[in-house]
Homo-oligomer: A and B are copies of this chain.
């Protein structure tokens, strides 16, 4: 890829902010649960999960729709699922010329990983 412009990773106005302590630390409040459930739900579909891992594992951490449509569903369905991943704050996107490029939001991924930390106190 020749385009070296830095992507505005944290410019997703409706992205879910990283939230919440580990699930094992204390009972979640209703607000925390709403935010975190939205992220988990976005990954709770096999096609979305395949698209997400295709973007996340692609060279340079970003992928064009043209790179990741090989998941056995129609192009409109791919677009629908990519939009859901964006709405949940898991992906950002940028149009460059003909194609839209998708990139994983690492801070959100890290926040979800933190939620699933097994706290020693709960053992």
Which residues in A have some Cβ–Cβ distance to B below 8 Å? 23-28, 30, 33-34, 36-38, 40-50, 52-54, 56-58, 61, 68, 71-72, 104, 106, 109-110, 112-113, 116-119, 122-123
Contact = CB atoms under 8 A, between A and B. Distances in A.
Interface of A is mostly: helix
B47 A33 contact: yes
B50 A33 contact: yes
A49 B36 contact: yes
A118 B123 contact: no
A44 B122 CA distance: 22
| Stoichiometry, copies per complex | 2
A52 B123 CA distance: 15
A34 B38 CA distance: 19
A122 B62 CA distance: 9
A110 B116 CA distance: 7
Contacts of A116: 109-110, 112-113, 116
A29 to B, nearest CB: 8
B50 A46 contact: no
Contacts of A44: 37-38, 40-44
A111 B106 CA distance: 19
Contacts of A49: 23, 28, 33, 36-37, 40
